[in-house]
Structure 1
Amino acid sequence: MPMLKRAALAAALCTAFAAQAADSVKVGIALDISGPFAALGAESRDGFDLAIEKLGGKLGGLPAEVVKTDFGGSPEQAVQLVQRYLQREKIDFFTGPIASNSALAVGPALFAAKVPFISSNPGPSPYAGKQCNPYFFGQYQNDTYDEAAGKLANEKGYKNMVIVAPNYPAGKDHLNGFKRLYKGALKDEIYTKVGQIDYAAEIAQIRAAKPDAVFFFLPGAMGINFVKQFVGGGLKDIPLVAPGFSADQDVIQAVGEPMLGLYNTAHWTHDLQIPANAEFVAAFRKKYDGRYPTVYAAMAYDTIMAIDAAVRDVGGRIEDRAAVAAALAKPSFQSVRGEFAYGRNHYPVQNYYLRVVDKDAEGKLTNKLVGTVLEKHQDAYVGECGM
């Protein structure tokens, strides 16, 4: 056969092969079931499981294999896990880590392999700006929750504040976001250790500063211990303001009555009046003994729904990674947060809401929607993205 004809035939066969739908979809999930973010990882796992159950174990109509592995919140272990997922498991999609340092650690290998990384939580600023990538998709950008909180603090008339966060990438993003919109004075800016449980020194600093209010980003067990010690240290008369991660259902359940009246900001709340959200919350409470879902569970659920929609939208041709990324960038699923669109950096343009810890009709402590703080809000880093 002449050389040109052989080349043309090979090209035609490649095109035909690429057009065929895959037989199945494989998703790799890095779970934080142990380590400093264990409670949050468990919430994410429950959201993933509920979505997969709702879809009957399929994604986009194809049989789905979901590989879940606990990596203990260690960025180093996350890198090793992703290498195994890519080399041995041959995953088609990746999600799962809670922390931004883990997301930043695993990104390069995933992007080099053109495996879509749909974040089920972290929204680190580098991926929103200069390190944006066609294969990364965020649920929110870290700073945005706190930009909303900064605006709230202005509206509350807090003239001077102390702000607190763990010393890691997300902690710095969250405090930077608060400072971006807060117009008052900062009496102190405190960085704690990741996983810290004793806040005696920090509470002494706050007591000495005598602020009008305290803003804190301390998710999971860190937030639980901080609020308990804050109130126990006699500072209950100083108002607390937080992003939703520091006042979510896991923290509320563990702390109890001292959480009443705490204002927090988030891109989602369980009482958001949207059909997809009402269905999700009802199914979650039925499956998990009546407890309300957290933001982490809601984002994990949305992650699976986004993958399902993208696989369906490309007709199962998941080997065409560029087409999959393009489908993810134009989400066609019904999100629990309602309508949203991606900016060019693949971070959402969406609403951010004010919630307050109150009691529901059954007397259970939970967040209640108060109103919208930021409408169709885009992160501050999109201008640095070259996509």
Structure 2
Amino acid sequence: MHSRFLRLAVAAGASLGGLAASQAATIGLMAPLSGPQALVGQDQVDGFMLALEQLGGKLGGQPASVLKEDDQLKPEIGQQIVRKFIDKDKVDAIVGLSFSNVLMGSLPRLAESGTVAIATNAGPSPLAGASCKPNVFSVAWQNDGAAEAMGKFAQDRGVKRVVLMAPNYQAGKDMLAGFKRFYKGEVVDEAYTQVNQPDYAAELAQLQSAKADAAFVFYPGGMGVNFVKQMSQAGLLPKLPLYSVFTVDGTTLPSLRDAAAGTISGAMWDAALDTPENKKFVAAFEAKYKRTPSEYAATAFDAANLLDTALRKLGGAAGDAKALAAAVKAAGSEFKSVRGPFRFNNNNLPVQNYYAFQAVKEGGKVVMKPLGTPLKEHADAYHAQCALKSLP
């Protein structure tokens, strides 16, 4: 047994009890495991745990165990969890890190500590740009990316007038900015709603009166279920094409069902993606959890395999934070992602494809069908503001 054990923390739910201090690897996941976004957090936990199971319970050849913490989608709770992992648990890496507002709230402590952090569900624009950190990565996306793909897709389709809607927090602002970066038509209205707002009757009335050609929205998790169902019940979906990101996906389709039919989504991944790695991942996830994975499960699955690749480069030793950060960055170009092409840009955020999918009724259920790849091996708009250097 190695004298220096791997100890990782991932930032997601209540910690596992009874973990002996002598165990070789401690992995934590911080994600929202309660409230409307719990399905987003649970998919991250399940994706990470599936990869760890396939790796024989090891990362970099060292045994690993998992702690989970529920940030409740509250930045102050996320900060408490991150401080605990760093100051009390003395972890070597933190994974998960929740939504953009939670990640940004914890960024000062992460930067100060130098602890390697890998986000699986956030890529806020400040982190991609001037506030980039050498020890903080996103294996998910820069928030604007999928929205940029939808902006380009709508532009290519000749959509003339759109209404934009998103929750009022950093990711929502990033998404709408991304759409507008590639869409050159008229934005009739741009509305920001409360985070976790349950009722969109007022907004749907405004949407109906706007006389736009299409709507573009960002409503993840439970917000997406409520919004799309209410839009369908209002009779708007057949009349107004709906383009979205993180709204109609593996976490929401089981609840949306027929209400989602016809909607178009931008994403860096979907279960319908035809790559060898993805086919194996989807089959294994469905066999274990009896449901179709979402992009949140896919990014967490990738995060575990990324860490495994990085730690193998270090012979399983994770004690040197700078060495681990360098190994993670290099491993981004080496591990096999389920999404297809992947590498880290200079800002430690992904360079990757962004795809378009449409929800269609097939065989009595609604499934996602690929429509194309609006943006190929796409780099985000902020990386030039980051002082970090790319790998040679």
TM-score normalised per structure 1: 0.91
Task: Write the distance in 1 (CA, Å) between the matches of 2:282 and 2:386.
Answer: 35
1:49 corresponds in structure 2 to: 49
Q: Which 5+ residue runs of structure 2 have no aligned equivalent?
A: 7-23
Task: Write the distance in 2 (CA, Å) between the matches of 1:164 and 1:199.
Answer: 11
1:134 corresponds in structure 2 to: 134
Shift of 1:20: 7.4
CA offsets, 1:325-378, max 9 Å, x none?
111112222111123111100111111111111245x54322122221101110
Once superposed, which parts of structure 1, at least 4 consecutive aligned residues long, lie more than 6 Å away?
A: none
Contact 1:115 1:321 in 2 (8 A): yes
Task: Write the distance in 2 (CA, Å) between the matches of 1:85 and 1:175.
Answer: 34
Q: What SS does the aligned partner of 2:64 have? A: strand
Shift of 1:273: 2.2
CA offsets, 1:3-61, max 9 Å, x none?
xxxxxxxxxxxxxxxx9753633322112111342111111111122112111211110
1:339 corresponds in structure 2 to: 341
Q: What SS does the aligned partner of 2:195 have? A: coil
Q: Could you tell me which amino acid in structure 2 is paired with residue 241 of structure 1?
A: Y
1:228 corresponds in structure 2 to: 229
2:188 corresponds in structure 1 to: 187
Q: What SS does the aligned partner of 1:273 have? A: coil
Shift of 1:132: 0.4
The range that moved more, 157-166 or 60-69, is 60-69
Contact 1:249 1:366 in 2 (8 A): no
TM-score normalised per structure 2: 0.90
Contact 2:162 2:216 in 1 (8 A): yes
Q: Could you tell me which amino acid in structure 1 is paired with residue 89 of structure 2?
A: E
1:355 corresponds in structure 2 to: 357
Contact 1:26 1:93 in 2 (8 A): no
Q: Could you tell me which amino acid in structure 2 is paired with residue 337 of structure 1?
A: R
Q: CA RMSD in A?
A: 1.5
Q: What SS does the aligned partner of 2:120 have? A: coil
The range that moved more, 374-383 or 25-34, is 25-34
The range that moved more, 114-123 or 32-41, is 32-41
Change (3 A) 1:325 1:181: same
Matches within 5 A, 1:75-224: 75-138=75-138, 139-224=140-225
Contact 2:71 2:98 in 1 (8 A): no
Q: Could you tell me which amino acid in structure 1 is paired with residue 5 of structure 2?
A: A
Contact 1:220 1:250 in 2 (8 A): yes
2:24 aligned with 1:22, yes or no? Answer: no
Contact 1:216 1:242 in 2 (8 A): yes
Q: What SS does the aligned partner of 2:370 have? A: strand
Q: What SS does the aligned partner of 1:300 have? A: helix
Equivalent pairs counted in the alignment come to: 366
1:378 corresponds in structure 2 to: 379
Shift of 1:155: 1.7
Q: Could you tell me which amino acid in structure 1 is paired with residue 96 of structure 2?
A: G
Contact 1:73 1:97 in 2 (8 A): no
Task: Write the distance in 2 (CA, Å) between the matches of 1:36 and 1:113.
Answer: 31
Q: Which 5+ residue runs of structure 1 have no aligned equivalent?
A: 1-18
Shift of 1:254: 0.9
1:249 corresponds in structure 2 to: 250
Q: What SS does the aligned partner of 1:68 have? A: strand
2:312 corresponds in structure 1 to: 312
Task: Write the distance in 2 (CA, Å) between the matches of 1:305 and 1:349.
Answer: 17
Task: Write the distance in 1 (CA, Å) between the matches of 2:329 and 2:4.
Answer: 20
Task: Write the distance in 2 (CA, Å) between the matches of 1:145 and 1:125.
Answer: 13
Shift of 1:317: 2.4
Contact 2:33 2:42 in 1 (8 A): yes
Matches within 5 A, 1:269-284: 269-284=270-285
Shift of 1:78: 0.6
Task: Write the distance in 1 (CA, Å) between the matches of 2:57 and 2:299.
Answer: 18
Task: Write the distance in 2 (CA, Å) between the matches of 1:296 and 1:168.
Answer: 19
Larger radius of gyration: 1
